[in-house]
Structure 1
Amino acid sequence: MSQPLRISGLASGIDIDSMVQQLMQAARAPVDKLKQQKQLLQWEQEDYRDINKSLVSLRNSIFTAKLQSTYLAKKATSSNESALTVTATSAAEGIYQVDITQLATGVSVISSNLPEETASDGTTQSLAKQFNLPAGTTVTFELQGTEKDSNGQYITESFTFNADTQTIYDVISAINARNMGINASYDSTNNLFSLTSTGTGSSQHLKLVSDSISSVNGVAFLHDYLKLNLTTGSELFGKDAQVVIHDSSNTSVTYNMPSNSFSLLGLSFNLKAPAAGITISVTKDIDTVVNNIKNFVNAYNDVLDKINAKLSEKRYYDYPPLTDDQKKAMSADDIKLWEEKARSGLLKNDFVLDDIAANMRSTMASIVSGLTTKYNNLSAIGITTSSDYMSEGGKLYIDETKLRQAIETDMSGVMDLFTKTADATDQKGLAQRLYDVVNNAIQTISSRAGSDAVSNLADQSYIGQRLKEIDANISDWEDRLNQLEDRYYSQFTAMEQAINQMNAQSLWLSQQLGIGQSSR
């Protein structure tokens, strides 16, 4: 739409722009009110989503509390940690006798000192110069590593090097590029060349199939020049670790393992040296179980505190959101202080959060039916609310002494209190129930306030839809205001044109009167 002609007070001397601005400021009041409503909804949406993030974090903690493994933690100790360190995963409690008869090894061949590979000018010498080979020498050899073909045969890799142009580092790169389970390396400080398997165990393998130098008969490159203890046909294998475990019936079982770190019988072993008569003791890890429960309770309290704080937050009705014009007249610090009060208490006594908090508290205060243990509620294991229940909103406190005693007395009973599964809600463990409560709470808040993961256009939540309605209303109002502003300018322009015409007529009359008087 074309803009109307705007003449700003040339004839009247009136500051038309200022007058239109003042008229429009009054007319914009409904738009400012809509924008304030939008800001309040956006702040409310942010507060809801912030609560939801905390609920998601709590749900993750509850998931851990639902798992039986959380309460079956074991600890294992070794009588000889210089030879063996061990941790328990799912091992049965008891005493294990262990002998380490052999460590797992790979294949490793290391040279003695070689000629310097670096020239006096700092550049890397060719193979011919480093090993004093005749010009035109070609080095060839064949290796087998750990890799096998589809028939189970070791794959032979062939290597050829021009001694005049290629260096020891070209040899290393070529071997490593074949991915044959053998790594080549060069220690430039001590001038040592090595071939080493990438793993350990009896599956590790290295064989020198052939080895020759074109210019020197009867001399092998790897053996005579790289000084590796390998001759054509040499074949090396790694070794498995061997561990002997004795049970209480004096039965011994030998286990061959390809690595020095492995899991066996619910234990994680890390072998360090051969040794006999090692005692492994596996017991309940009470400390870990207590800490797991404490972490769960702390996560619950943190979320409950956050919800209760929002429910009781003071509302300042005298501090509405600032308009754009109001912000222009204020400093950044003043705006920050004002908005802190303006967005305070938006969720005070909110029915959604109040319902979530009530469901969480009732869940944690309930009894688990059908348990064969006396530990059928939190208070029985030393987890209670404070005497000042109302002011603290159901916050939980742990009597650690009582909790430890319950775990030591009946670990299975404590575990069932949190983890028991059942169709009937009153028979579910508390963590199982709370997980459902929190999951429903997350969905309820998402349906009301949406999620950061969903774009505004795709947001179908209650607040998301309200924001779209307000945006549509603001857009309609902006169109009306643009039309109103154009009308004001059109009216003032018409006035200016009329005044200008009157001035012109007045000037003409004055001129005519002046002419009549001069003719007398």
Structure 2
Amino acid sequence: MASSASISGLGSGLDTASIIDQFMQLEAAPQTRLKSRQTSEKAVLTALQSLNTKLAALATRSGELSKVAAWNVVTATSSEAKVAVTATTSAGPGSFTVRVDQTAATHRLEHAAAVGMRVAGSVPTTVRLDRLDGTAPVDLATDGTLGGLVDAINSSANATGLRATAVKVGTDQYRLVVESAASGAAGDFTLTATDGSALLGGATVRAGRDAQITVGDTVVATSSSNTFADLVPGVTLTVAADTAAGTTAQVGLTRDAGAASTTLKGLVDAVNAAIADIDTATRSSASGTRGVLSGDGTILTVRDQLISSVFPGDGTSLASLGIQTDRYGKLVLDEAAFKTAYAADPGGVQTRLTAAGTGFVTKVKAAATAASDRLDGTLTAAVKGRNDSLSRLDDDISAWDLRLELRRATLTRQFTALETALNQMNSQSSWLAGQISSLPSSQG
């Protein structure tokens, strides 16, 4: 460009730099069309990727809800605040009473003698820990002080499973308290000198114990902690540590039609959101701004499959469950109708939602998966195709960059040669005119 500017109009008086630019605009017309196509392809790719992502999320969500247990929503209640109860989808309806016989406790030793924290010789340099479970005792090395023993017990390297504390009871006087980190009868232990003699004047023992409850009148359950996991299938009960013995709670397990309805509405909304995005992307110019995927048969097929999920395919409908389509081709859910149907026959509702091939949720999953599967989904294939097309366009545009660069260089050389020749001719003409004017006149 610099060289063309330097010779522009040198001999001809023409703006040859502008002329070259105009020629280049004509030469670049095919590349301009490629760039315009590239912009359109990128818009299509972005729309396809967005839809594919949304449908992949819908496939995941419907896959989780295609299991029967997902619709067995049970609410657990307890009449006593200190007895908490939770239920999973594997729980069934029912009720029972629970009486708290005792809560779980850690095994604790409170040693009698008070000593200085760092007084040498207060404790043996080796203290024996016996877990009383048949395993070999463990010898803990100390520096002979109470502080050293506390450090040895609490050291993560020793992994004692105990917690030691030095409690101040006077001026530089401390008593040792040690308890098991976990509650339960199996957490008992002793601390002695290696010869078996008492440590620090002996200890008052609070024995570890398991929590115990009675279910109904006679069924006794125990737990090393205050939590009873799967006390009945899918139900976990937790007793507060300060619950008094004899506390009684009534536990109720009821099917929650409201929670099931909320779950279903979430899925219906997700389907409608995907349909709305498809409608926007495929909108024709007759109905407003033309969508970037207008006329794309693949996308319209996905829409049809999502809508058809509401029809079981056996001549029936899901209207009795409150699921229908409106005149705009969207799904609607009558939550009151669904709750009524669920309360009357929860098992039947679960089947109609999750049955293989005909259930609403399984059909949504099949449609969303067919579109978005990362290996052979129709939208996944379309995204790959557009990416391949854009890659080829990038190559073609780059090739045109080189071609246009060479063409500009050629034009610049041609016009430079032209201007140089014209400049030489102008110089010769001026010289010749000067020579002629200097000739002697034939008159006189």
* TM-score (ref. length: structure 1): 0.71
Q: The residue matched to 1:203 in structure 2 has which SS?
A: helix
Q: Distance in 2 between the 1:396 and 1:16 partners? A: 66
Give the match for residue 129 of structure 2.
144
Q: For 1:116-515, what aligned pairs fall within 5 Å after superposition?
A: 131=117, 133=119, 140-144=125-129, 153-161=135-143, 171=151, 175-184=155-164, 195-210=178-193, 223=200, 238-246=208-216, 252-263=218-229, 264-266=231-233, 267-272=235-240, 273=243, 274-312=245-283, 314=285, 345-368=291-314, 377-386=317-326, 389=327, 392-393=328-329, 395-421=330-356, 425=357, 428-442=358-372, 443-449=377-383, 461-506=384-429, 508-509=431-432
1:223-281 per-residue CA deviation (whole Å, 9 max, x = no partner) reads 37xxxxx55xx9875321112212xxx5x222221221232212111111233432212
> Could you say if the C-alpha distance between residues 492 and 62 of structure 1 is closer, same or farther in structure 2, counting changes exceeding 3 Å?
same
- Report the AA paired with residue 432 of structure 1: T
Q: State the Cα distance separating 1:309 from its structure 2 match.
A: 2.4
Q: Distance in 1 between the 2:113 and 2:50 partners? A: 65
Q: The residue matched to 1:465 in structure 2 has which SS?
A: helix
Q: State the Cα distance separating 1:156 from its structure 2 match.
A: 0.8
> Could you say if the C-alpha distance between residues 510 and 61 of structure 1 is closer, same or farther in structure 2, counting changes exceeding 3 Å?
same
Structure 2 unaligned regions, length at least 5: none
CA contact (8 A) 2:125 2:141 kept: yes
> Could you say if the C-alpha distance between residues 301 and 207 of structure 1 is closer, same or farther in structure 2, counting changes exceeding 3 Å?
same
Q: Distance in 1 between the 2:18 and 2:143 partners? A: 88
CA contact (8 A) 2:109 2:206 kept: no
Q: Distance in 2 between the 1:186 and 1:133 partners? A: 13
> Could you say if the C-alpha distance between residues 160 and 368 of structure 1 is closer, same or farther in structure 2, counting changes exceeding 3 Å?
farther
- How big is the alpha-carbon RMSD for the aligned residues of Structure 1 and Structure 2? 3.8
Give the match for residue 320 of structure 1.
none
1:66-113 per-residue CA deviation (whole Å, 9 max, x = no partner) reads 11112212122212122x111222333222121221212223457899
Q: The residue matched to 2:190 in structure 1 has which SS?
A: strand
Q: State the Cα distance separating 1:131 from its structure 2 match.
A: 3.9
Q: State the Cα distance separating 1:179 from its structure 2 match.
A: 2.1
Matched-pair identity in %: 23
Q: State the Cα distance separating 1:315 from its structure 2 match.
A: 8.2
1:114-167 per-residue CA deviation (whole Å, 9 max, x = no partner) reads 99xxxxxxxxxxxxxx74636x9997242537698xxx514514223387xx97
Q: The residue matched to 1:364 in structure 2 has which SS?
A: coil
Give the match for residue 51 of structure 1.
51
Q: Distance in 1 between the 2:166 and 2:279 partners? A: 65
Q: The residue matched to 1:275 in structure 2 has which SS?
A: coil
Q: Distance in 2 between the 1:265 and 1:88 partners? A: 9
CA contact (8 A) 2:10 2:419 kept: yes
CA contact (8 A) 2:142 2:149 kept: no
Q: The residue matched to 2:407 in structure 1 has which SS?
A: helix
Q: Distance in 2 between the 1:146 and 1:18 partners? A: 96
* TM-score (ref. length: structure 2): 0.82
Q: Distance in 1 between the 2:87 and 2:314 partners? A: 30
Q: Distance in 1 between the 2:8 and 2:404 partners? A: 22
Q: State the Cα distance separating 1:34 from its structure 2 match.
A: 0.3
Q: The residue matched to 2:308 in structure 1 has which SS?
A: helix
Q: Distance in 2 between the 1:361 and 1:39 partners? A: 32
Q: The residue matched to 1:11 in structure 2 has which SS?
A: coil
Q: Distance in 1 between the 2:181 and 2:223 partners? A: 16
Structure 1, 463-472 or 481-490: larger mean CA deviation: 463-472
CA contact (8 A) 2:310 2:360 kept: yes
CA contact (8 A) 2:107 2:185 kept: no
Query: Are positions 1:25 and 2:25 aligned together?
Result: yes
CA contact (8 A) 2:132 2:190 kept: no
Q: State the Cα distance separating 1:25 from its structure 2 match.
A: 1.8
CA contact (8 A) 1:145 1:180 kept: no
Aligned length: 424
- Report the AA paired with residue 335 of structure 2: E
Q: Distance in 1 between the 2:308 and 2:276 partners? A: 15
1:198-241 per-residue CA deviation (whole Å, 9 max, x = no partner) reads 322223244313289xxxxx996xx37xxxxx55xx98753211
- Report the AA paired with residue 429 of structure 1: G
Q: Distance in 2 between the 1:417 and 1:347 partners? A: 34
> Could you say if the C-alpha distance between residues 91 and 469 of structure 1 is closer, same or farther in structure 2, counting changes exceeding 3 Å?
closer
Q: Distance in 2 between the 1:315 and 1:413 partners? A: 45
Q: Distance in 2 between the 1:181 and 1:206 partners? A: 10
CA contact (8 A) 1:20 1:485 kept: yes
